[in-house]
Amino acid sequence: MCKVDKIIDETPDVRTYRLIMNDPARMETFKWMPGQFVEFSLLGHGECTFCISSSSTRPGYFDCSIKRAGVVTADIHSQLEEGMDVGIRGPYGNWFPTEEIKGKNLLFVGGGIGLAPLRSLIQYCIDNRKDYKDFTILYGARTSADMCYKEEIEEWKKNPSLKVILTIDKPEETWKENVGVVPKILEEVVKPAVENTKVITCGPPIMIKYTLVSLDKLGFAPKDVITTLEMKMQCGLGKCGRCNIGSTYVCKDGPVFTYEQLKSLPDEF
């Protein structure tokens, strides 16, 4: 069991829940890697799968950023308050290849709530900054109000060793950054160098689809593009049988896959 320590309103429909385990000894030993997920229970309402959106390099708590999308998430938003208990199982799944991307340039491409799993890795890489080379974050949302982690993004922008590029879909009066969908900005503004670069992307399916096309155009090899998948999950243990794509269980073998691995799976999307 965990207590909700703090609730942070990110956007009109996304909130970040900062959680601390009731048992301090367990909190101490609770370790996870960026990209892993937990099963989050609002008891009596149901259990949902969320990635951990903070990094274990910042110990003592962990974050789950939750978008109001379905029945349980609506209940979480309307009924879960600071100081209340939630049930947590995990961490489950694989993680971003933090070792493999050492010494590489990193390009993060995120859209909407898709920044949540990336944020865990971004924090992890910032906290181990010397292990990684150039660091670029491209983040897009429908409107400026739909951007998650606004305060943290401001901090990232102030950090001289990070390059942060923001974009929204349609122009707004007070908006001074880019306007346009993520793949367009990727091709026209970011123009990333392919050499020695790993791309980590997550966002809504439509964004991922066209981002992969753009990355292909820019010359990125499928093995250098890493993403994390969303699938309906319940047990997180490779038993309940709903997250499989072919013989691959997303909850055990994923959720993190390279584009190369995804291409070898049956085309269920």
Q: Does 104 bind other proteins (CB under 8 A)?
A: no
Residue from the set 100, 213, 246, 260 that interacts with other proteins by CB under 8 A? 246
Edge-to-edge order in the sheet of strand 163-168: 178-179, 163-168, 135-141, 105-111, 197-202, 225-228, 256-258
Q: State in angstroms the smallest separation of the CB of 94 from other proteins.
A: 12
Residue 129 engages other proteins in binding (rule: CB under 8 A): no
Cβ closer to other proteins: 101 or 116?
A: 116
260-267, long-range: CB within 8 Å, 24+ apart, which pairs? 260/221, 260/222, 260/223, 260/225, 262/227, 262/229, 263/222
For other proteins, the binding residues in 39-78 under the rule CB under 8 A are 41, 43-48, 67, 69-73
Q: Residue 127: in which H helix or E strand, if any?
A: helix 115-127
DSSP class of 254: -
Q: How many CB atoms lie within 10 A of CB 159?
A: 12
Q: Which is nearer to other proteins, 85 or 177 (CB)?
A: 85
Q: Least Å distance between CB 240 and other proteins?
A: 5
> Half-sphere exposure (CA, 13 Å, Cβ side) for 236?
18
Nearer to other proteins, 219 or 266 (CB): 266
Work out whether 205 is an interface residue with other proteins (CB under 8 A): yes
Q: Least distance from C-beta 176 to other proteins, angstroms?
A: 31
In angstroms, give the least distance from the CB of 206 to other proteins: 10
Tell whether residue 239 is a contact of other proteins (CB under 8 A): yes
Count of CB atoms within 10 A of residue 10's CB? 23
- Which residues contact residue 168 at a Cβ distance below 8 angstroms, ignoring those fewer than 6 apart? 140, 141, 142, 143, 144, 146, 147, 175, 177, 178, 179
- Shortest distance, CB of residue 174 to other proteins, whole angstroms? 29
| Contacts with other proteins, 249-268, as mask; x by CB under 8 A | ---x-------------xxx
Residue 5 near residue 84 (C-beta atoms within 8 A): no
Q: Which residues of 65-83 are buried (b: 16+ CB within 10 A; e: fewer)?
A: bbbbeeebbebbbeebeee
Mark the segment that binds other proteins (CB under 8 A) among 27-35, 57-65, 213-221, 235-243: 235-243
The phi, psi pair for 233, rounded to 5°, reads: -135, 150
Strands 105-111, 197-202: pairing kind: parallel
Q: Of 219 and 246, which CB lies nearer to other proteins in the complex structure?
A: 246
Residue with tokens 């708590």: 61
Task: Candidates 230, 255, 256, 262: give the one binding other proteins (CB under 8 A).
Answer: 230
- Residue 7 within binding range of other proteins, rule CB under 8 A: no
Report, in Å, the least distance between residue 146 CB and other proteins. 14
Interface ranges with other proteins (CB under 8 A) = 1, 3, 22, 41, 43-48, 67, 69-73, 84-85, 87, 205, 230-232, 234-235, 237-242, 244, 246-247, 252, 266-269
